[in-house]
Amino acid sequence: MSKKVIIGSRESRLAVIQSEMVRDYILSYNKDCEVELLTMKTTGDKILDRTLDKVGGKGLFVKELDKALLEKKSQLSVHSLKDMPMEVPEELPLLAFSKREDPRDVLVLPEGIKELDESKPIGCSSLRRTLQLKELYPNMKFKSVRGNVQTRLKKLDEGQYSALVLAAAGLKRLKLENRISRYFEPEEVLPAAGQGILAIQGRKDEDYSYLDGYNDEDSECAALAERAFVRYLDGGCSSPVAAHAKVEKDKIILTGLYYEEESGAWRKASLRGKREEAEELGIRLAKQLKHPGKVWLVGAGPGDIGLFTLKGMEVLKNAEVVVYDSLVGQGVLSKIPKGVRLINVGKRASHHTMPQEQINQVLAEEAKKGLRVVRLKGGDPFLFGRGGEELELLHKEGIPYEVVPGVTSSIAVPAYNGIPVTHRDFCSSLHIITGHKKKGDTYDIDFKALVNTKGTLVFLMGVSALEDICNSLLQAGMDEEMPAAILQKGTTAGQKRIVATVSTLAEEVKKQGIETPAIIVVGKVCALADEFAWYEKLPLFGCKVLVTRPKETISSMAHKLRLLGAEVLELPAIRTEPLEDQSLLKEALKELDSYQWIAFTSPIGVKVFFDEMKQNSVDVRKLGQVKIASIGKGTRKALEERGLFVDLMPAVFDGDSLGKVLCEVCEGTEKILIPRAKIGGKEILAQLAKKPGLIVNDVPTYDTFYEEQEIIDIKNLFENGEIQTAVFTSASTVRGFVNAVSGLDFEKVRAACIGKQTKAEADSYGMQTFMAKEATIDSVTDLVVDLNKK
C-alpha cells in the first residue's frame, strides 16, 4: 500500500518549485510514496503595502502552513530557511536541510539596461541590505519593494526602480539567472541567515524515514550557527542582522552583522570554530558584536618583566589583539598568549613602522570588530607615550577603553643604577623632559627654568641630542661640574652606565659608546651611583637566559633566575595536552587494585592521572595497596600535593635510573603501571625488561607538541651573542627548541642541561653542553650561575 505525503507550500512560483524539489527527492528514493502539494497564500503574501517589520515579521509566511501541519492536512512544509522565524514550535521541528544554493545577494537591472539610473531608487526589501548597499552606492536612494520575484521584476521593468536586490538562490531556482547583473560577495553584502537553504518542517514523533539521506550536514551546520547568531540578537526578516557561515571540513567560519538601533552604528566580525560547536559559535559572535570591543592602553614598564604590573599581566592574558612598540621588553612580549593577533608598530626614535595617526585608526578598527585590544607601550602610556592622542579617537568613536599605568623608565632605570631621583640632601624635585627633537630644529625648552629648579633632570629619547642638551644646560648657567649620567637599556641584561659631568658626558659617551634605548640623568644624585649600585652586584647581572621548559612548568625556573639578576626569556618550546582518547588509562583505573606499583615520570603525568580518576569517579582509596615511584623531586612534589608520599625515587632523576631501582625492589611477579607521555623514552622499559616476570603496562596519557615562537627573533639573539645560556630540562625541550629556532648554528648555543639524556640530545645538535650535578631546578640554577662566572 502506498504512503501518501502532502507537502504544504506557499503558492508563489518559487515556493512551488522548491516544494517540487523535495517532492522529487521523496519519489526518487521511495517507490511506495505518493506525493501531493497543498498550496496556500500566507498572510505575508497578502500584505504587500507595508514592510514586514511593521506587520509582524517572518511569522506571517509560516502561520497558515503551521496550521495545516497541526491539523494534519499536510505531513510536511517546505520553506526558504531565511523566511522562517528563529523560534520554531517544539511540536513542529525542522527535519532536514537542503544542500545550499548560492547564498549571495545580487543586483538586477531592467531588461536591456546596463547601468544604474541614479534618478530612480534601488528596490530593496530589508534594512539589512540597505545598510550595506549604502556603502557601495552612496549616491543612490533605496525604496522598499514587496511581492514575489515575478511581481518585483515586473515593477522593475515598468521603470519604477533603477534596480532590484534579490537572492541569487531564488533566481537560479526560477531559471532566471540571466537577469543577474552583478553578484555581491558576502564580504560586500552579508546575506540573510539561512539564505540559499531549504528547510523541511514536520510534526514531532512521526515517521519521516522517507526523508533519509536528504539532509545536508554542511547546510545544517551553517544553519545552526547563523540562526543561533540571529536568535541571540532577536533579529527578524527586516531587522538589520545578518549571518553567513562557511563550512570547510571540520571547521566553520561565521561572519555576522549587528545593527545598534540606539546609535545607528553597525558592526561586522568573524569567528572560526569547530563544526560541532556551530550554535555556540553563533552565540559567541553575537555577544561579541552586541557588546563591542575595548582597548586597554597598557604600560609595559622599562624592560624587566618583574616591573610589569599585575593588572597589565591580567589584561594581556585576555587580549585578542596586541599592538606593541619596539621598546616593550622581550620578557613581556614572551608572555603574550598563543593565538593572539600581533601588530608591530615599531615606534622608536626616528624609526616608525606605522605613523601615529594610523596606529590610532588601527586601535579603533580592531575594537569595532568586538575584539579585546591591548595597546602595549614601553614605560607608561601617558609619559611621552602619545596615549592621549590614541584616546582622542577612541573617545570620539565611542569605543570603551581603560588605561593601565606602567613603571616609567625615568624612575626605574636610575633606581636600577643606584641613582635615587630625589634625595633631601641633594634635591627636592624631579623633572622629566623629552629630549627628542627633529633634526635641525631648536629646543622649545626653557633650560634656564630647569637649571633654576636645582632638581634632578631626566631626559627621555635624547641620546642623539646629548651634546645639544648638555650645551643648553651649560649656557643656561648650570655648573659645569654638575654630575650627569647616561643609562643604557636599564633593568635588562644590556644595562650600562656612564657617569661624568654635564661638561664631559658627551665626550665620555664618544669614548665608551652607548646603545639605545638610554636615558640622561642630570643632578647631584648621579654622584651616588657607584655607592648605591645594587643590580650589577647580583650573580647573574648582565646575563640573558633562555628557559625552554614546558609551558605548564616554566615560571618557577624563570623566577629563581630573575632573583639572581638574570634577564629571562621564556620560550615554551613544548606544550603538553592530555590525550583525547584515554581508554587505556580508563581500563587501568578499573583494575587499580591489581597493580603493585605505579611509576610516575613527570608532574603533568601526575595531573592527567588524577584528573582522569576524578572524571571516572575512581575513589583514591583504590590506591591503598599500591606503591608509588617517582622519577624526581618535581614529580614527587606533584604527588605530595595530592596527599601521596613516594615509596621509591632514584638518586639520578631519569628513566634509566628509575627502571633500575624498580628492578632492584621487585621480585619479578609485580604488575607495574606507567602513565606517561605518548612519546616517552624507552630507557625505563629497557631496564624493566631485564627483570623476568614483571608485567608492565605503559599507558600514554598525554602528548607533547612543539611550539613555534614568532614575536622575538631568538635566532638573531644567539647569533649576536645577546643570550648567554639556554636552559633545557628534558630531551623534548631540546627538540622543541631546535624546531622553533630553525636555521640557527647550534654551536653558538651554550646549553645548561638537567641530566644526561637532555645533554645527549643537545650534544647531538652540536651545542656547547653542561650538565647540572642533580636533576633539579635548584641544581640547574647553580649551573647557570657557575657558567656566568666563566
Q: Catalytic residues, which ones? A: 325, 347
3-state secondary structure of 682: coil
Q: How far is CA 625 from the centre of its chain?
A: 46
Closest CA to 170 of 282, 13, 307, 275: 13
Positive or negative, the Cα torsion across 259, 62, 105, 276? positive
Closest CA to 352 of 461, 246, 275, 245: 461
C-beta contacts of 638-642 below 8 A and 24+ residues apart: 638/600, 638/603, 638/606, 638/607, 639/600, 639/606, 642/606, 642/610
CB 782 within 8 A of CB 771: no
| CA 335 – CA 42 distance, rounded (Å) | 59
Residue by residue, what is the 3-state secondary structure of 76-136?
A: EEEEEHHHCCCCCCCCCCEEEECCCCCCCEEEECCCCCCCCCCCCCEECCCHHHHHHHHHH
Phi, psi (rounded to 5 degrees) for 33 = -100, 145
| CA 590 – CA 225 distance, rounded (Å) | 39
Query: Which letter does DSSP use for residue 732 in this model?
Result: H
Closest CA to 536 of 416, 674, 656: 416
Cβ neighbours for 108, distance < 8 A, ≥ 6 positions apart: 153, 156, 163, 164, 165, 166, 171, 179, 180, 181
Helix (H), strand (E) counts: the chain: 28, 33
Cα separations in angstroms, 593 against 619, 625, 672: 11, 7, 11
Bridge partner list, 695: 671
Cell of 327: 621598546
| CA 726 – CA 769 distance, rounded (Å) | 10
Closest CA to 489 of 435, 536, 557, 433: 536
* Amino acid letter, residue 85: P
Bridge partner list, 375: 297, 323
